Chain A
Amino acid sequence: MIGSDVSVSGITKSFGDFQALKDVSLSIKKGEFFSLLGPSGCGKTTLLRVIAGFEEPDVGLVHLDGKDVTELPPDKRGCNTVFQSYALFPHLSVFENVAFPLRIRKTPHRLLKDLVMRHLSLVQLEKHASKKPSMLSGGQKQRVAIARALINEPSVLLLDEPLSALDAKLRQHMLVELDSIHDKVGITFIYVTHDQAEALSVSDRIAVMDGGRVLQVGSPQDIYENPRTDFVARFIGDTNLFSGTVIEREGEIATVEVDRLGRLAVEANGEAPVGARVSVAVRPEKLHISLSRPDSSLAEKNVVAGRVEEPIYSGFQSKYFVRTEGGASLVVFRQHAQWSEGVPDIKWKDEVYLTWNPRDAVIVESSHREDEGPGSRP
């Protein structure tokens, strides 16, 4: 099996008054594990259905390996779909479910049996070949759906929230399995999910979507470390978001006067001229929390003083909600290990200092001012 590259260009799709996709363009590389990530209603499933051929776009084109497939029905596209609800045929056994595409193509019996068993073993279900779908667990159904979608040797596999019906533990397990299946078959995977942790852990690249648009496309690291908009920063992981005004710019470091928090040094990759109103994002795990004031200058580190409003212990880490004198609220993660602190426990109402490196904070575009670039022109 060899993957295809997929490109969608200028896709717009409406259902009645609702615009599900607004001028979406993406290009997905051969063999890539590509995720469409966004909240429900962001258009990610609609985009997948457009690629699969279940929905015809109002405007725009879909290309597979450079060939225009926009007008082709789903059975002529060389993509197969793993449905959110699995969509296994309840009247057929596991074997017959997987064999379904081969029966349609009238594959000779000997070859058929061979192929089906090979695909069932790919998902470790050989022993369940004769069961009906209703006798399987959620994870097993999921694997049947994957085997069935792969047996046509598609060049692209489309996965529509395939793990959403599974419990958390099983989801982790299936995710690893999906990743290894992707490695084995080597075809292009397009994976729709609303779960940022899933998307981050398996994807080669992620497209973050909201309101029918693609907001950012990039590698998991890229999306997490350098979110382009405040929506992306908030949707992927936890984040502290502030707004403020740039008062000084020195190379890649901008000094921002943040409302209710004071002056902060922030890394600015893009445009952030002096005087611009900007949003600043910093991840909670990048903040260091301590009871005594660390000695450092503003250029090196940002230091903010505050009081612990709410400590939440969750085993592998603690989460602290800290309110500053100015009234700004920040969230901090702290790992528990001997190396992490000589500092004693931090408790409710403790006076603390939060410190972070300017390079760990980023300037992001505010989604409320959609049409202006990052750091709007003064």
Chain B
Amino acid sequence: MRQRNFGPIYALPQGLWLTVFFAAPLGIIVAYSFLAKGLYGGVVPQFSLAAWHTLGSPILLSVALRTLIVSIVATAITILIALPAGYSIARSRNQPMRLFLIIVPFWTNFLVRVYAWISILGAEGFLNDLLRAIGIIDSPVQFLYNQTAVVVVLVYMYLPYAILPLFSTIDKFDFTLLEAARDLGASKFDAIVRVLLPNIKGGIVTAVLFTFIPIFGAYAVPLLVGGKDSYMLGNIIADQVTKTRNWPLASSISMAVTLIAALGSLAFLWGSRRPSPALVVDSAEDQGLVGPDTANAGSRRGIS
């Protein structure tokens, strides 16, 4: 009887925090995107759709497309590296030490780490010195300021964000299942694809989101190690704010980035959480609609 629902009260600090620091700025950005631009930055309080119209310009669209491709490629490479890394940490006898090593880079400032990469890949950098010392090249190779450098550094930056969620799901995985799969005739590869991956789907989804979303909004990395042709949406937004001083356009591009990331994530989440055919059939059987004979119709769908 004294069990009153204190939920709303407990949630109050979080609600306040989100309203002040998340919803309000977002609201301001939305509002700005519908206003006319001021001469020296800022906005004038006058309704305008100009910023949204500009979004359709070919230059913006091509940057958006490039951003999408770079994000997908970098995310894919990150996950491909993070999966075996997470697996080996989960199976290692010395988990704390290995996790510690994954976290160590966080102690150094993000920008400092980007500059470290510049000193590795630069014309006078470590990699060029090494290759010259071995005698593979005579004159310095330009590794920096191109798309590849952007992807390499992005993968480096976001790898820990993919490794950690993958590690924590793989750590909870029952490895007897892999033995069972091997016992039942599966090769090592089959066992991983058919048993491990489906069971750590949650971790993969988290890792993809943790990697894809920040990479999609990347700004510093393409600015510092990319060239003219590696501009991403984040750089365009920054330019609109600081150089061109078109705040409404900066706002509308930001909104577009947010929307694409949010909708993309939702679609991805929905796609990966969709119940398997077997479960759908199951609920039908619970209602007495399907007998045991037809119960495996779902699995038939599974192989087609």
| Interface of A toward B, CB cutoff 8 Å | 52-54, 73-75, 79-81, 83, 85, 87-93, 95-96, 99-101, 103-105, 109, 113, 116-117, 126-127, 129-132, 148-149, 152
> Is A81 a contact of B186 with CB atoms below 8 Å?
no
Q: Which of A75, A109, A116 is the one whose CB lies under 8 Å from B186?
A: A75
B192 to chain A, nearest CB (A): 13
Closest to B277 in A: A93
Q: Which residue among A85, A89, A126, A148 has the maximum number of chain B CB atoms within 10 Å of its CB?
A: A89
Asked if B171 CB lies within 8 Å of chain A CBs, one says no
Tally of chain B residues near chain A (CB < 8 A): 33
A125 to chain B, nearest CB (A): 10
Task: For B176, list chain A residues within 8 Å (CB).
Answer: 83, 85, 87
Asked if B179 CB lies within 8 Å of chain A CBs, one says yes
> Is B295 a contact of A91 with CB atoms below 8 Å?
no
> Is B183 a contact of A52 with CB atoms below 8 Å?
yes
Listed by A's residue number, 17 A-B pairs whose Cβ atoms lie within 8 Å are A52-B183, A54-B182, A80-B184, A90-B177, A91-B201, A91-B276, A96-B302, A99-B299, A100-B184, A101-B184, A104-B185, A104-B186, A109-B300, A127-B292, A130-B281, A132-B282, A152-B184
How long is the Cα–Cα vector from A105 to B187 in the complex, in angstroms? 11
Task: For A91, list chain B residues within 8 Å (CB).
Answer: 198-199, 201, 276
Q: Name B58-89 residues within 8 Å CB distance of A.
A: none
B262 to chain A, nearest CB (A): 28
Task: For A87, list chain B residues within 8 Å (CB).
Answer: 174, 176-177, 179-180
How long is the Cα–Cα vector from A265 to B280 in the complex, in angstroms? 72
Task: For A89, list chain B residues within 8 Å (CB).
Answer: 177, 180-181, 195, 198-199
A113 to chain B, nearest CB (A): 6
Q: Name B266-304 residues within 8 Å CB distance of A.
A: 276, 278-279, 281-282, 285, 290, 292, 295-296, 298-300, 302-303
A235 to chain B, nearest CB (A): 27
Q: Which of B177, B183, B299 is the one whose CB lies under 8 Å from A95?
A: B299
How long is the Cα–Cα vector from A295 to B185 in the complex, in angstroms? 67
Task: For A75, list chain B residues within 8 Å (CB).
Answer: 182-187
Task: For B299, list chain A residues within 8 Å (CB).
Answer: 93, 95-96, 99
> Is B179 a contact of A74 with CB atoms below 8 Å?
yes
Task: For B187, list chain A residues within 8 Å (CB).
Answer: 75
Task: For B276, list chain A residues within 8 Å (CB).
Answer: 91, 93
Q: A87-B179, A132-B278 are in contact. Are A148 and B184 (CB under 8 A)?
A: yes
A295 to chain B, nearest CB (A): 62
Give B165-196 as 1s and 0s: 1 = Cβ < 8 Å from A's Cβ atoms. 00000000010110111111111001000110
> Is A109 a contact of B303 with CB atoms below 8 Å?
yes
Q: Name B78-133 residues within 8 Å CB distance of A.
A: none
Q: A74-B179, A131-B282 are in contact. Are A90 and B185 (CB under 8 A)?
A: no
Task: For B295, list chain A residues within 8 Å (CB).
Answer: 95, 129-130
> Is A104 a contact of B190 with CB atoms below 8 Å?
yes
Task: For B182, list chain A residues within 8 Å (CB).
Answer: 54, 73-75
Task: For B300, list chain A residues within 8 Å (CB).
Answer: 109, 113
Task: For B183, list chain A residues within 8 Å (CB).
Answer: 52-54, 74-75, 79-81, 149
How long is the Cα–Cα vector from A91 to B181 in the complex, in angstroms? 13
